[in-house]
């Protein structure tokens, strides 16, 4: 099994990380704040990139990567790890309404519930299935909207991004363009002003 660091190095060659410094979250607090740890490849990704979006091709179709930030998104909202989990709860799965085929995953905080780590402009959402007690064994589940389908992936978030970019995943269309760039929108200590894209 390839280590998260090796996979992240491969991703960084394809998607250069931001030049500015990134304030890493205090990951040791996540279990107390939301009841679980996060996968190590995701922690390494966020430590290097922060939260933001991958922009692909000439049209720069965005794929947002969610990351914890101590600064609330709006006044009165929580910050930190709890805010990231709450954001997942605000993305209702609606299997019947959306017509997804495949297994029906529960919402968090139910055991094995889905926890979102990203989404794209077409409404496709990228989750972990949190059933395994070891977060490093959480597989990625993509809920695609066009056409509506459930696309499980037996690997972590960084492996998923690499598989999509290489064309080894059926959802490769949005990340297969050789021109990709990263736009950081937050890290643990700050949020950047929202941009129109």
pLDDT value, residue 47: 97
Residue 42: in which H helix or E strand, if any? helix 40-49
Give the CA count within 13 Å in the CB-facing half-sphere of 58.
0
Q: Provide the 10 A C-beta neighbour count for residue 195.
A: 9
- What letters, b where the CB count within 10 A reaches 16 and e where it falls short, cover 89-119? eebebebeeeebeeeebeebeeeebbbbbbb
Q: How far is residue 147's CA from residue 89's CA, in Å, rounded to a whole number?
A: 23
Q: Which of the residue ranges 46-50, 100-104, 143-147 would you say has the lowest mean pLDDT?
A: 100-104
pLDDT value, residue 95: 45
* DSSP label of 157: H
Q: How far is residue 56's CA from residue 21's CA, in Å, rounded to a whole number?
A: 23
Q: In what order do the strands lie in the sheet with 61-65?
A: 148-153, 140-145, 125-129, 114-120, 61-65, 51-56, 180-186
Q: Which positions ≥6 away from 144 have C-beta within 8 Å?
A: 124, 150, 151, 171
pLDDT value, residue 96: 46
Residue 30: in which H helix or E strand, if any? helix 30-34
Q: Looking at the predicted structure, is the pLDDT value of residue 99 above 80?
A: no
- Grade residue 48 by pLDDT with cuts at 50, 70 and 90: very high
pLDDT value, residue 197: 42
pLDDT value, residue 91: 61
pLDDT tens digit sequence for 137-163 = 999 998 877 667 788 899 999 999 988
Q: How far is residue 160's CA from residue 165's CA, in Å, rounded to a whole number?
A: 9
Q: Looking at the predicted structure, is the pLDDT value of residue 111 above 70?
A: yes
Q: What is the pTM of this model?
A: 0.87
């Amino acid at each position: 099994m390839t280590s998260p660091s090796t996979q992240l190095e491969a991703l960084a060659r394809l998607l250069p990380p931001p030049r500015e410094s990134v304030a890493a979250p205090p990951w040791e607090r996540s279990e107390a704040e939301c009841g679980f740890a996060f996968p190590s490849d995701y922690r390494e990704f966020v430590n290097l990139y922060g939260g933001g979006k991958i922009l692909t091709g000439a049209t720069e179709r965005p794929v947002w990567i969610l990351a914890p930030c101590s600064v609330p998104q709006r006044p009165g909202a929580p910050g930190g790890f709890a805010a990231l989990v709450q954001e997942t709860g605000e993305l209702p799965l609606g299997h019947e309404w959306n017509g997804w085929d495949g297994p029906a995953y529960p919402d968090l905080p139910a055991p094995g519930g889905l926890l979102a780590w990203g989404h794209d402009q077409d409404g496709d959402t990228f989750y972990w299935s949190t059933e395994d007690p070891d977060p490093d064994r959480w597989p990625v589940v993509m809920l695609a909207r066009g056409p509506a389908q459930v696309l499980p992936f037996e690997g972590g978030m960084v492996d998923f991004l690499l598989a999509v970019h290489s064309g080894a995943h059926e959802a490769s269309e949005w990340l297969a363009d050789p021109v990709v760039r990263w736009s950081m929108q937050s890290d643990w200590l700050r949020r950047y002003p929202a941009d129109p894209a």
